[in-house]
């Protein structure tokens, strides 16, 4: 529950109103701890009871604008959304055939470069997003 409270505090600090829909969306994203589509989120527990798909999408856009949510996926396919949690970094594999997304369980090769860029440029809150695209094993078999 501490993560949920931290997320709500960050949302409030970013200027978002604390609503039941926002609370339910943040709960859903943190409980599932994986990228989820708009359809999955809209039908998720209390969120489905609180608001419609359009409201969920608007909340996701606001959270994305505030740097709290990351949009993943191929632009012509369904988007996936995942929380951006300080101190936790994930990179992803995305199938160009079926659009499936999975987290990569390997050390990120860009962290050292990011630190060098931070030191050389003086940028604050520097981050990166790394996505690899290819054809997943299920699609290769077909």
When mean pLDDT is compared across 5-19, 25-39, 68-82, 107-121, the lowest value belongs to 68-82
Residue whose entry in the numeric block shows the structure tokens 């701890």: 33
CATH code for position 73 = 1.10.10.10
Same domain, 29 and 64: yes
Distance CA 135, CA 123 (A): 35
Q: Domain count for the chain, please give it.
A: 2
Its domain, for residue 106, covers: 89-142
Q: Which residues are within 8 A (CB) of 118 and not within 5 positions of it... i.e. 6 or more apart?
A: 124, 126
Same domain, 17 and 68: yes
126 or 11, which is more confident?
11
pTM attached to this predicted model: 0.79
Pull the structure tokens for residue 22. 């926002």
Same domain, 26 and 75: yes
Same domain, 13 and 34: yes
Pull the structure tokens for residue 136. 């997943």
Same domain, 94 and 72: no
The domain boundary residue, chosen from 40, 63, 85:
85
Residue whose entry in the numeric block shows the structure tokens 């990166």: 128
Q: Which of 64, 60, 25 is nearest to 43 (CA)?
A: 25
Same domain, 73 and 112: no
Mean pLDDT of the region 48-57: 88
Same domain, 12 and 35: yes
Same domain, 99 and 123: yes
Helix (H, G, I), strand (E, B) or coil at 122: coil
Pull the structure tokens for residue 3. 């993560």
């Amino acid at each position: 529950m501490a993560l949920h409270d931290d997320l709500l505090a960050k949302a409030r600090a970013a200027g978002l109103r604390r609503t039941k829909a926002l609370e339910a969306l943040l709960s859903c994203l943190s409980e599932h701890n994986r990228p989820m589509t708009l359809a999955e989120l809209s039908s998720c527990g209390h969120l489905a009871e609180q608001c419609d798909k359009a409201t969920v999408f608007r909340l996701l856009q606001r959270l994305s604008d505030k740097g709290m949510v990351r949009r993943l996926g191929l632009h012509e396919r369904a988007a996936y959304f995942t929380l951006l949690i300080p101190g936790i970094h994930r990179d992803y594999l995305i199938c160009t055939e079926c659009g499936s997304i999975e987290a990569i369980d390997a050390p990120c090769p860009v962290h050292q470069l990011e630190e060098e860029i931070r030191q050389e440029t003086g940028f604050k809150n520097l981050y990166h997003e790394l996505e690899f695209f290819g054809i997943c094993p299920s699609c290769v078999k077909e």
